[in-house]
Structures are given as structure tokens and as C-alpha cells.
Amino acid sequence: MKNFRILAVAAAAMCATSAVHAQEPLKIGMITTLSGPGGYLGQDIRDAFQLAIDMQGGKLGGAPVQVIVEDDALKPGQGKQIADKFIKTDKIKLLTGIVFSNVALAVVPDVLDADGIYVSPNAGPSNLAGKECNANYYVVSWQNDSLHESAGQNANNLGYKKAFLLAPNYQAGKDALEGFKRTFKGEVLGEVFTRLDQTDFAAEMAQIRAAKPDVVFQFHPGGAGIAFLRQYQQAGLTGVVPMVVPSPSMDAVTLKAIGEPALGLNVSAQWNSDFDNAANKEFVAAWMKKYNRPITYYASQGYDTALAIGAALKATGGKVEDAKAFRTAMLKADFKSVRGNFKFGKNQHPIQDWYAMRVEKDEAGVPVIKTTGKISSDVGDFYAKDCKL
Amino acid sequence: MALVLEQLLNGIQFGVMLFLLAAGLTLVFGIMGVINLAHGSLYMVGAYAAALGAKLTGSFLLAIPCGLVAAGLAGMALEYIVVRRLYARDHLDQVLATFGLILFFNQAIILLFGRQPMFVQIPPLLSGALDLGLFAYPVYRLCIILAGLACAGGLFLLIQRTRLGMLVRAGATHRDMVQALGVDIRLLYTILFGLGAVLAGFAGLMAGPLLSVQVGMGEQILILTFVVVVIGGLGSVAGAFWGALLVGLVDTSLRAFLPQILRALMNGSEADALAGGISAMGVYLVMALVLLVRPKGLFPAYG
């Protein structure tokens, strides 16, 4: 009897191993920013991506997947090295994860040249959205400019006529100011390019005060945004000159760190945690259960990216080798996005709705980001017309 | 006019912060001959310890000793465990070892506090703005200027007028002779390293309420600190002081005034972009100029 039991266990174990052999999980390479001031952005993308996989029982679209995560430390060179290792050593074909546009611009062309597929959960630099668009490059988040175009539209809707603009001196910062000016109908009193690693904005505060604008538009993702808003208050500008920001300047984490000085801030975004759709409610509840920390746009994008990939894998039977078949499946965007309406445009960037939000106190007196209305519907991006796909 | 004065004050405030970091760095660099890249990490330790202290006790006043003690202890432990082994080795080894320490400190902070930035409230007493006649200036930033100047004065007295300072100066030039006279130079170096760490921690804890307390905050300011040390002259505290003020003022003035000046010459958008570029490299241009005219810095420590 005892021998029989051992035999049974052994047989079961052999079955299990052969099953594993049959279903070798699909490896997905995630290059993201986990260290430094921007570290929580990558952390949220990574955790939300993993959450989607966990919610589907270790699979995406029925295919077992394994995510291999590496930290690019916001260094384009390091990102390139990791991509090289993923593609050549680990033989990974499907990559995702990059937070910052400067890293994306260094890594994505390498991935595409090596016949890889890249699905962006955040960065959507203009250079890759127009003429340089590529059949194997998908962006689930947004094209960088659209964030700021929606903020410019928001400023028009709120009736502001004179704006002062600030953004860090790098590709996404330049995209930010271009995007805002594209839709903003009023006068621009000044544009300031801050340093990417700058955290003290005293000189800029004095310039804002001297320029006397109706509204300030600023784009400072991560820690710099926190410092900016605190110093805005310390300089006595909060409540005097209102501010319009795109979502990267005000997420749930920055809000928690800033607190009350953020009240009254106008935010525009494609997603917010209070969205009333079934997919979003399920996502928010699962996030709170697993991680129990503030949930950011980055998390929603990481989650949507996983769902988008999952929908494509479902159609291809878990295969990514045939990039054409994967593309056909991917472009259908056959998944329930947590942001509501979602489809891919012809440059494989999203066509989606943008919403106005405001930082207000909730019933408990805690500042939260509240959705106040829609800014625009079914918006693609400015560069799609140059894409010949 | 008011704007110019306000921006000058901003520049001085930035310079004073840089001085607190540069003072420790220049002492260690110039006198002990160690390139300590991990100096920024001590700044971060001070900021985090103060943030934690403020969070637990709810008082900024109690947070100050937390930050100072933590940075000082971390500095002395660092010297005792790691840096002590590096005195006799060449600069490349020192750079490697202390760069490793940066990674160590950053990861340790991530493990202890997580990646999300912390924030310290400005104490209510210092949170307003003081009316200086022409313009109002935040009280807290004025306090930073005063505290920094006081530190500079104290450091000057310590190095020029006390026995400890005398030993430090003697140890810098004639290490073996000082040792032969029966002075424990190792202990002296540990104390000196701790002093530098305390100053860095002080800068960190004062920066907390202005900037966000986050992993990697030390590296952001470290490069400018090295620029200050090089401009001032290695090993010279006075040089660090004037170098820091120069860097602070140049950096702030370029950011503040260059856009307006260029806007008068060309169209707005181009002027702003150009001004952003020039002001980003402004302090490095100053450093290059200083090195061209005075290769040993403004105040060379010896000879």
C-alpha cells in the first residue's frame, strides 16, 4: 500500500513536470524605473502588471506568462544594456515597462531593430508617433502631447486667458509645452525649462509672481512635482494663481505627500480611481486588497497594458513569434480598459476620452482627486496623420 | 528691483545649502585625501532621519537632533568601517568604494522607507513670509540663510582658533609628524569625517521641508557640490564658502534673469529654450573659467 502511494506521488510529479514542459511560460521583459525619485512610477506599473497576471491565475489571455523585471534607474544607457540582454541572452520577444521618454527613445529602436515587440505602459514620445511609427510598437497609455493638449483644453474651458508654462528640459518636457500651446487659445506669458534633476524652484516662483498670469501650467512628474507644489504654497502663490496640470504632475502619491496645498488644482487625465465602470471597480478593489497603497495613473496604465497584451495572446494562442498575427490581434484592443473607451489609432497609439479633475476634500476631509467632467471624447494624437502604417 | 533682490536672496540661500555640503566634502577631500562620493548619501540620511523624527514626535525642533545625530553616526561608522581602508589607496579605488556606498545607502533607504517620497511640514512658526519692505520672503528660507552663515562662522572659528582645528590643519600637511608627536590621527580623521557628515545631515534636514525627501536626493546635489569644492580650492573651507555662494548666485541669476534678457533679443519661445540650455550649463562654464585663471581654485588650501 505504502509503495503504491509513493508510486502514485511519483507518477503525479512526472505528470506535473511534463505539463510544465508543454506549457513553458511566455517571458515578458519589463524594463522600468525602480530606483531614484521616479522609482514609484515603475513600481506601480510593475505591480499593476503583475496584479493583472495574478487575477488571471498566473496567465494573460489564457497563456502562462512570466515577467522578468529590470531597473533602468532612469538611465538610457542602462535601459539599452538590459534590452540587449533580454533580447540576445534571454531570447525575449515581447518587452514593456519603460516610464521615461528619454529611456524609451534609447531602447525602443533597438527592440524594434531586433524584430522585438514593444508595448508602452507610459512613455509615448512624439518622435515615435509620427513618421517613425512602427508596426511592432504599441502605446497603451497616451502620446505624450495628448496629456498636455487636454490640459490646454481644460484651461480654455475654465476661462483662463494668460498662462505661464514650466517643464523640465528634456524631450517629454518640450512635448509638454508644445502640446499645451497647441490647444490653449490664450496668451503665453512665459515658458521656463527647468533642469530635469532640479528640486528647488525658488527662482521660478519669483518669475511667476512677476509675470502675473491667470493660470500656471506645469509638468513635473514624480518627486519634483511634490517639491514644486510645496514651494508654490510657500511662495504664497497657492490660491492666488490657479494651476492646470496634466496627470503626471498630480497623482495619488504626490497628493498624499502634498496634502492640503494641492486643493483646487485642476488636473486632466484619461483615468481616475473614481471612474464608475465595472473593470475599474474590480481593478481598484484588487489593488487595495493586494497592495493597500494609493493607486496612480501609472498603475492603471500598467494594468491596461497587461490586459491589452492578454487580449492579443488570447487570439494568438499565447504566441508572439508571428508578429503579424500578434499585431492583428493586438489592434482589436479586445479588452475592457479601466478608463472606459479605448481603441488604437492608426499609429497604434490610443484613441480615448480625456477628463477634467479637481483636487477636493472628501467626506473625511482628506484631499482626493475628483472627476468633474469630460474634456474631450475619442481623441487621437497630433502625429497620427504622419504615420504611414 | 524687488525681483532682483528676491532672486539674489534665493541665490544666497541655495549657496548656503551648497556650502554645508561642500564644507564636509572639502575637508575630507583636501585634508584626508579621500574622494567621498557617498557624501550625498549622508545628506539623504540626515533628511530621512529628520523626516522620521518629525513624523514620530510631531515636532520639527526634535527632528533636528535626530537628523544631526543620525548623519554624524552614519558618517563616523562609514569612516571606521570603509573609508579608513582607503587612505593609502589611489583615487580610483576610493571612487569605486564610495560609489558602491551610494548604491548601498539608496537600497537601504528603499528597504526601510520605500520608494515613495516623504514630506516634512515647515514648523508653523517659520511657515509665513516676512515683509522686507520691497517684497515678502519666506521665513523658512531666511532661517536657512542665517543657520548656514552661523555654521560657516562656527566652522571658521573651529578650524582657525581651536586646538582641534590646529591638529586638523597640521594633520593635513604633516600627517606623520603629527602622529609622531603622539596624536591619534585616526581618531582625528574619524571625528573630522563625522563633522562633515553632521554638516551634510544639517543641510539634508533643512532641505526636507523645501524639497521632497526621497531616495537619490543626495546625488542630485552632489555634482554641484563637487563643482563648489573645485572652484573654491580643495581643502579650503573659506574657498568652499565663497565658491558655494558664487555657484548659488550664478545658477539662480541665470535661471531668473536670462530668459527676460534673451526675450528682448529674440522671439519668446526660442529665447526660453536657449535660456534653459545656457543656465543649465552656467555653473560649469564658471568652473571652467575659474580653472583657466586659477587652476588650484579661488582659495588654494596650501601653496
A203 exposed, middle or buried (CB, 10 Å; 0-12, 13-18, 19+)?
Answer: buried
Q: How far apart are CA B125 and CA B102, in angstroms?
A: 35
Neighbours of B261 (CB within 10 A): 11
Cell numbers standing for residue B62: 526634535
Residue that the C-alpha cell 493583472 belongs to:
A52
Dihedral over Cα of A122, A126, A128, A130: its sign: positive
**Domain ranges for chain B:** 2-217
Per-residue pLDDT, averaged over B273-297, amounts to: 88
Per-residue pLDDT, averaged over B266-290, amounts to: 85
Superfamily of domain A145-269+354-385: Response regulator (3.40.50.2300)
The verdict on a CB contact (< 8 Å) between B276 and A193 is yes
Residue A119's pLDDT is 96
> Contacts of residue A210 in chain B, CB cutoff 8 Å?
3
Task: Compute CA distances A209 → A199, A226, A237, B250, whole Å.
Answer: 19, 19, 8, 21
Angstroms from B210 CA to nearest CA on chain A? 6
Q: Are A32 and A289 in contact (CB under 8 A)?
A: no
Residue B303 pLDDT greater than 50, yes or no: no
Residue that the C-alpha cell 514648523 belongs to:
B123
Bridge partners, A370 (sequence order)? A358
The verdict on a CB contact (< 8 Å) between A230 and B110 is no
More confident residue, A21 or A357: A357
Residue B138's pLDDT is 85
Contact status of B138 with chain A (Cβ, < 8 Å): yes
Supply the DSSP symbol for A245. E
Residue B144 pLDDT greater than 60, yes or no: yes
Contact status of B160 with chain A (Cβ, < 8 Å): no
Contact status of B106 with chain A (Cβ, < 8 Å): yes
**Domain ranges for chain A:** 10-142+275-344, 145-269+354-385
Task: Choose from B1, B141, B211, B222 for mutation: most chain A CBs within 10 A.
Answer: B211
Per-residue pLDDT, averaged over B196-209, amounts to: 92
Q: How far apart are CA A44 and CA A34, in angstroms?
A: 9
Q: How far apart are CA A258 and CA B240, in angstroms?
A: 34
Residue A20's pLDDT is 46
Q: Which of A160-164, A249-253, B47-51, B119-123 has the lowest mean pLDDT?
A: B119-123
More confident residue, B66 or B1: B66
> Contacts of residue B118 in chain A, CB cutoff 8 Å?
257
| Closest-CA residue to A224 (of A40, A31, A77, A34) | A40
- Residue A328, H or E segment: helix A323-331
Residue that the C-alpha cell 574657498 belongs to:
B239
The rounded percent of chain A whose pLDDT value lies above 90 is 65
Per-residue pLDDT, averaged over A364-368, amounts to: 89
Task: Using CB atoms, pick whichever of A43, A190, A202 lies closest to residue B13.
Answer: A202
Neighbours of A363 (CB within 10 A): 6
Nearest CA in chain B to A293: B116
| Closest-CA residue to B171 (of B11, B301, B15, B9) | B301
Residue A225's pLDDT is 83
Residue A37's pLDDT is 67
Q: How far is CA B281 from the centre of its chain?
A: 19
> Contacts of residue B116 in chain A, CB cutoff 8 Å?
40, 253, 256-257, 293
- Coarse DSSP helix, strand, coil percentages of chain A, rounded to the nearest 5 percent: 45, 20, 35
pTM of the model: 0.76
Residue A19's pLDDT is 46
Residue B87's pLDDT is 83
Residue B154's pLDDT is 93
Task: Choose from A174, A193, A220, A295 for mutation: most chain B CBs within 10 A.
Answer: A193
More confident residue, A95 or B28: A95
Cell numbers standing for residue B92: 580610483
Helices (H) and strands (E) in chain B, counts: 11, 2
ipTM above 0.90, yes or no: no
- For helices A101-113 and A76-84, angle between their N-to-C axes, nearest 10 degrees: 30
The verdict on a CB contact (< 8 Å) between A234 and B140 is yes
Task: Using CB atoms, pick whichever of B216, B272, B280 lies closest to residue A35.
Answer: B216
Cell numbers standing for residue B225: 557640490
Q: How far apart are CA A250 and CA A297, in angstroms?
A: 10
| Closest-CA residue to B41 (of B119, B141, B110) | B110
Q: How far apart are CA B75 and CA B213, in angstroms?
A: 19
**Residue A10: pLDDT band by 50, 70, 90 thresholds?**
low
Q: How far apart are CA B145 and CA A12, in angstroms?
A: 73
Cell numbers standing for residue B129: 513670509
The verdict on a CB contact (< 8 Å) between A253 and B116 is yes
Q: How far is CA A230 from the centre of its chain?
A: 24
> Contacts of residue A212 in chain B, CB cutoff 8 Å?
none
Nearest CA in chain B to A181: B269
Calculate the average pLDDT of chain B: 87
A324 exposed, middle or buried (CB, 10 Å; 0-12, 13-18, 19+)?
Answer: exposed
Residues whose CB is less than 8 angstroms from the CB of residue A26 and which lie 6 or more positions away in sequence, other chains included: A63, A64, A65, A66, A94, A313, A318, A320
**Residue A12: pLDDT band by 50, 70, 90 thresholds?**
low
The verdict on a CB contact (< 8 Å) between A227 and B6 is no
A185: helix, strand or coil:
coil
> Contacts of residue B212 in chain A, CB cutoff 8 Å?
37, 199, 223-224, 226-227, 230, 257
Residue A198's pLDDT is 81
Contact status of B280 with chain A (Cβ, < 8 Å): yes
The verdict on a CB contact (< 8 Å) between B212 and A34 is no
Angstroms from B109 CA to nearest CA on chain A? 11
Contact status of B217 with chain A (Cβ, < 8 Å): yes
pLDDT in tens, B244-262: 999 999 999 988 888 888 8
Q: How far apart are CA A155 and CA A10, in angstroms?
A: 68
Per-residue pLDDT, averaged over A10-30, amounts to: 65
Residue A288 pLDDT greater than 60, yes or no: yes
Residue B13 pLDDT greater than 60, yes or no: yes
The verdict on a CB contact (< 8 Å) between A169 and B277 is yes
Q: How far apart are CA A191 and CA A220, in angstroms?
A: 14
The rounded percent of chain A whose pLDDT value lies above 70 is 93
Nearest CA in chain B to A174: B273
> What do you get for the CA distance between the two ends of chain B, in Å?
42
Q: How far apart are CA A144 and CA A172, in angstroms?
A: 7
Task: Compute CA distances A325 → A313, A321, A347, whole Å.
Answer: 10, 9, 17
Residue A32's pLDDT is 95
Residue A11's pLDDT is 53
Half-sphere exposure of residue A163: CA atoms within 13 angstroms, side-chain side? 28
Residue B123 pLDDT greater than 50, yes or no: yes
Q: How far apart are CA B243 and CA A183, in angstroms?
A: 45
Q: Which of A152-161, A286-295, B257-266 has the lowest mean pLDDT?
A: B257-266
Residue A57's pLDDT is 93
Bridge partners, A165 (sequence order)? A191, A217
> Contacts of residue A197 in chain B, CB cutoff 8 Å?
220
The verdict on a CB contact (< 8 Å) between A36 and B119 is no
Task: Using CB atoms, pick whichever of B210, B256, B275 lies closest to residue A200.
Answer: B210
Q: Are B199 and A176 in contact (CB under 8 A)?
A: no
Q: Are A27 and A66 in contact (CB under 8 A)?
A: yes
The rounded percent of chain B whose pLDDT value lies above 70 is 99
Q: How far apart are CA A136 and CA A266, in angstroms?
A: 35
DSSP states of B90-157: -HHHHHHHHHHHHHHHHHHHHHHH-SSPB--PPPGGGSSEEE-SSSEEEHHHHHHHHHHHHHHHHHHH
Q: Are A247 and A356 in contact (CB under 8 A)?
A: no
Per-residue pLDDT, averaged over A222-235, amounts to: 82
- The reply to whether CATH 3.40.640.10 applies to domain A10-142+275-344 is no
pLDDT in tens, B160-179: 889 888 888 887 777 788 88
DSSP states of B40-59: HHHHHHHHHHHHHHHHHHS-
Q: Are A242 and A217 in contact (CB under 8 A)?
A: no
Residue A41 pLDDT greater than 50, yes or no: yes
Task: Choose from A32, A191, A194, A237 for mutation: most chain B CBs within 10 A.
Answer: A191
Residue A4's pLDDT is 54
